Structure 1
Amino acid sequence: MQKLCSASLWPVYGPDALRQLESRLQHSNPQPLMQLAGLAAAQLALAIAPHARRIWVAAGPGNNGGDGLEAAMHLHLWGKQVLVSWMGSTAHAPPDALMAWQRASTAGVAFQSAIPENWLKDMDGQDLCIDALLGLGAHRALGLEMQACVQAIQKLPGQVLALDGPTGLNLENGQWLGSPDAPTVAVRAHHTLTFIATKPGLFMGHGRDACGQIWLDDLGHRANDCDVPPQAWLNAADAPRIKSHASHKGSHGDVAVIGGEPMALRGMGMTGAAVLAASAALHAGAGRVILSLLSGQATEHALPDLMQRDWQRLDLEQLHVVCGCGGGEAIRAHMPEVLQRSAQLVLDADGLNAVADDPALQNLLRQRAELKPTVITPHPLEAARLLKTSTAQVQSNRLQAAQNLATLFHCTVVLKGSGSVIAAPGQTSRINTSGNGRLATGGTGDVLAGLVGARMAQGLGPFEAACRAVAQHGQLANDWPDDLPLTASALAQHLR
């Protein structure tokens, strides 16, 4: 069993691959997988709640419930006071779950079909609930009976251990079960134990709030010896970059930031976004950073370390360009030249919106391909505009949406959000596990764009630069002192 963290580099599998892995393990393992999973769950339950007097197991009608029944049997035999609420029936239970019920019943585990409200009232903060209601195959909104069970779980004072994933969470995409307009109730677990391999939804969307600490028991699966390709990899945190002694400013690349719509155009100046991106590139270690505001004028609010220059005087063919931050409507007229001339390009925000609205710009972006490396950094709405779909569709399959964008525009994609996805043609996508809700403040996306630009300027390829930048960006938020507000400008200044 392994405890997963933001530094974990681990393969992530979709449902089809998981079924294939499960089938192989069932044929190669002398012991049923459900029994192995139940034993692992019981062992983890003792580890996280060693002083629990009462353990309530909420077991669903399928195989996830069977895992819970196996865990209940072991905990009962180890002397714990266990009560199981099983929503299944002996007439309709899958074969493995039926066997688990028989083993638990024979061992003397106590069952109660209804929610044991009086029994639950005597539980305290040291006690434990095991959520074994639904697993990987759940896609529909919860029925009333299961909703009531979830609500009972959420009222308990002790810890909650979810098996495979918290009930109410779609393990394929990290969204709540049900429609976006009427999401289902869901368990918020303190710990989640997932089996065989990790699932995408644990690390994306609401999964990052619902799962708590994630644990993995592979039940004998060895990723290094497997020929089933993963859907993605978790994106491991990056070590700080240290400049060598025998280097100079020209050794670490030149970044130009083009953006910042002037106030005069629409009465809504956005020069701050471009300044933030440039500040991020500077603090991240780029050798020289040039700020080119779309007004063509210098600003007093930029750091003195930044050079300022009219973008039309830039030698784009020699530069790593970050374009679009705060660009507004003003960026559209300049996009053809930026797309055609920039040696390497990070395209963000209004630069992406301009491309989404103009087929000619889309063609220019595609034509850059491998000769002129490009990273685009959309949030879900910008991704939806580029793909001509809805935000809900993007969020329903973030891995596929990111890969579709990478294929469509022949570039590296950072699909931002909870569990940012990094995708590129010919690469296995990454799901980023660092970061938290403190990044949900204006300007942090501009900081990320500048950081990606700096990493490319320092010699990394676009996919590796994006992976490292996203990991570092999130890790800074994880390490941020609780008593200090996280602002985009402070975030930029803490980059290394």
Structure 2
Amino acid sequence: MLIYTCEQMRVIEENADVNGLSYVEMMENAGNACAEKIHSTIVGLNSATKTVAVLCGSGKNGGDGFVIAKNLCDKGYGIRLVLTNGYPTAYESKIMYAYLEDKPVLVSDLTQNYDACVSACMSAAAVVDCVFGIGFHGKLDETTSKFFSAISKSRAKKFAIDIPSGLEGNSGKIESDFFKADYTLAITCYKPVHILKPASDQCGIVSLIDIGIDEKCYEAVGSDVIVSAEHNEIKRFFKPRDPVANKGDFGRLLSVCGSRNMQGAAVMAASAAVESGVGIVDCVFPDAAYPAIAAKLTEPLMNPMPSTKEGFLRADNLKHIIELAEKSTAVLLGCGIGLPEDTLKIVSGILANVKKPIILDADGINAVSFNINILKETSAPLILTPHPGEMARLTGLSVEEIQNNRVKVARDFAVQYGCILVLKGSNTVVAGPSGSVYINRTGNAGMATGGSGDVLAGIISSFVCQAMSLQSATIAGVYVQGLCGDNVQKKYSMHGVTPTKMIGEIAEVLSNFE
């Protein structure tokens, strides 16, 4: 699934206009197609009324509404037209409004007859929101906000055209009251709001509306298109195994994870990697953590190394770690390693000397935040998997700034530092050095628990070792972990999701990709 920003949508429309499909024609096509979709959805309803309330703003989105009103009126529906901000001001919308002059349409102005507008929506079979479109930012005015809150109690089917009014097209944030839709009819293409939580949950069932724009009009937006991969696309990342393959064919992962008080991070990361199919896992950890880790891991090779008195890896282990890295396919670095001075030296030393792919997680990321330029100096291909707090330390931005601009922040960082960036959270974002962006839609809030990141790091690292490209391995890893979390949630409840249970689901989830 391709997702385009509101700015890209404007470019696409400009290209269509230049190539012979005028804005007036696009508006007519959009309105007619939306009217057909609305009609096909409500025609079978056992409603006491056959009235549709169409809410129209003064801009171009209102123009779509006027076309919808005309089309549904011609089909025999009674139309109550609600003007939320007076008569149309956009050129194309004025043309469409003129089409209604000889139609039996009742028109009410929200600013002049609020109660009549609410009544029209409460008694209608359907309410169609054509108030604001892709240009909306900020918060609704007090009257419109109050109006949307009132009509949310209506039993009518509620349709939003393109974007529910009150939501911003490029984000998943909710800042004010909004039109609560049962259905959203996305014009031409999906926008970020249709898939980013929590706003996407307010869009209802999202359908794509074709308005006749030629495919060549999309080319000008370049490689900045956002992608939400589906199951069949992910499945292509997994290649059939050779019947005569051996363990060496599926890679060797060096896991530099864990400390005396965080042995679980090393255990979960290594276990997830093993369950995800890597050939061999080499675990490096401080010897102070050996009893706990050895008691829980069976498949991986153990490389306990001298620890500090606090139970962290000593910096003088660096040479040995680099030697092991040279024999490995990829290196997972950071889960539970802590943040003493020795860790900073180990992380910087590995980045400076290892040329194999490195997956940086947790304290590996925190260590880098003290010297961010090392990301530009390393020769190793990099995958970073920060949560918003770690991303804040990397960028100097606040968590709020990051959460409000997840796609842009992830993309900008990946491009600037030439890495794969995984910004974890609801709708995890995977950004590549070319500016590509993938938004994940699997997973649930139950996965917001300590250890989930270790599981994800292990899965991604395992896929890298099995000869997937870094970007494919990362996208697949995020998708697979989300499915594991969804499986656990279905079996045990949202509160019952744990990292260990997710690891137990990996094999079953992967069976769907063979």
Note whether the superposition's TM-score is higher than 0.5.
yes
Paired with 2:128 and 2:182, the residues of 1 have a C-alpha distance of 10
What residue identity is the alignment partner of 1:248? N
Residues 408-417 or 214-223, more deviating? 214-223
When Rg is computed on C-alpha atoms for both structures, the one with the higher figure is 2
Aligned to 1:111: 107
1:492 equivalent among 503, 506, 513: 503
2: CA distance, partners of 1:41 / 1:479: 36
* Alignment pair present for 1:317 and 2:315: no
**Could you report, residue by residue, the CA deviation over 1:84-135 in whole angstroms, capped at 9, with x for unpaired residues?**
2211323x52122222222234322222222533444445xxx432222211
User: Which residue matches 1:97?
Assistant: 93
* Residue among 50, 68, 71 paired with 1:71: 68
Picking from 172, 180, 185, the partner of 1:188 is 180
Pair 1:41-2:39 in alignment? no
Classify the secondary structure of the residue corresponding to 1:290. Answer: strand
Deviation at 1:333, TM superposition (A): 4.5
How far, CA to CA, are the matches of 2:16 and 2:385 in structure 1? 39
Q: Which amino acid aligns with 2:12?
A: L
Q: 2:314 matched to which residue of 1?
A: none
In the TM superposition, residue 147 of structure 1 has moved relative to its aligned partner by: 0.4
Summarize the Cα distance change of 1:161–1:119 in structure 2 as closer, same or farther, 3 Å threshold. Answer: closer
Work out the CA distance in 2 between the residues paired with 1:14 and 1:451.
Answer: 30
Q: Aligned partners of 1:18, 1:281: CA distance in 2, in Å? A: 40
Give deviations 1:235-294, integer Å, cap 9, x for gaps: 31311654332211111111232223323xxxxxx3222322212111111111233334
Distance 2:15 2:373 in 1: 45
Counterpart code for 2:161:
L
Q: Aligned match of 2:415 in 407, 418, 443?
A: 407
Post-superposition offset of 1:376: 0.3
Q: Which residue of 2 aligns with 1:337?
A: 349
Q: Which of 271, 296, 301 is the equivalent residue of 1:302? A: 296
Distance 2:458 2:391 in 1: 19
Name the CA distance, whole Å, in 1 between partners of 2:409 and 2:41.
Answer: 37
Q: Which structure 2 residues correspond to residues 189-268 of structure 1 after superposition, within 5 A?
A: 189-223=181-215, 226-230=218-222, 231-237=224-230, 238-239=234-235, 242-263=240-261
- State TM-score, norm by structure 1: 0.86
Cα distance in 2 between the residues matched to 1:154 and 1:277: 46
CA distance in 2, matches of 1:100, 1:480: 51
| Counterpart-to-counterpart distance in 2, 1:148 and 1:301 | 60
1:120-135 pair list within 5 angstroms = 120-122=121-123, 127-135=125-133
Q: Is the 8 A contact 2:166 2:178 kept in 1?
A: yes
Compute the displacement of 1:138 (Å): 0.8
Residue segments in structure 2 that go unaligned for 5+ positions in a row = 306-316
| Structure 2 equivalent of residue 179 of structure 1 | none
Q: Which of the residues 405, 409, 416 maps onto 1:397?
A: 405
The AA in structure 2 aligned to 1:233 is I
User: In the alignment, is residue 366 of structure 1 matched against residue 376 of structure 2?
Assistant: yes
For 1:59 and 1:394, how far apart are their aligned partners in 2? 33
Total equivalences in the alignment: 466
* Residue of 234, 258, 271 corresponding to 2:263: 271
Distance 1:440 1:56, change over 3 A: farther
Aligned counterpart, 1:18: 9
What is the alpha-carbon distance in structure 1 between the residues aligned to residue 38 and residue 488 of structure 2? 31
Alignment partners' CA distance in 1, 2:325 and 2:243: 29
Out of 452, 457, 476, the residue aligned to residue 465 of structure 2 is 457
1:423 corresponding residue in structure 2: 431
Confirm or deny: 8 A CA contact 1:443 1:488 kept in the other structure. Answer: yes
- 1:211: Cα distance to partner? 2.0
**CA RMSD in angstroms, aligned pairs only:** 2.5
Task: Answer yes or no: is the 8 Å Cα contact 1:234–1:433 preserved in 2.
Answer: no
Unaligned runs of 5+ in 1: 1-7, 177-182, 264-269
Q: 1:450 to 1:402 in 2, by over 3 A?
A: same
- Of the three residues 141, 148, 168, the one matched with 1:170 is 168
CA distance in 1, matches of 2:486, 2:79: 37
Provide, for residues 172-192 of structure 1, a one-character-per-residue CA deviation record: whole Å limited to 9, x for no partner. Answer: 22222xxxxxx3122332322
Deviation at 1:346, TM superposition (A): 0.8
Contact residue 134 and residue 167 of structure 1 kept, 8 A: yes
Give the direction of change, closer, same or farther, for the CA distance of 1:106–1:290 in structure 2 (3 Å limit): farther
Shift of 1:33: 1.3
Partner amino acid, structure 1, of 2:28: Q
Shift of 1:457: 0.3
Secondary structure, counterpart of 1:219 in structure 2 = coil
| Residues 157 and 323 of structure 1: CA distance in aligned 2, closer, same or farther (over 3 Å) | farther
Please say if residues 57 and 83 of structure 1, whose CA atoms lie closer than 8 Å, have aligned partners that are also in contact: yes
Q: Percent identity?
A: 27
Task: Show CA shifts across 1:206-241 (max 9, x none).
Answer: 333222332222422244664312522313131165
| Alignment deviations for residues 290-329 of structure 1 (CA, whole Å, 9 cap, x no partner) | 3333445242552422333226454012322222223332
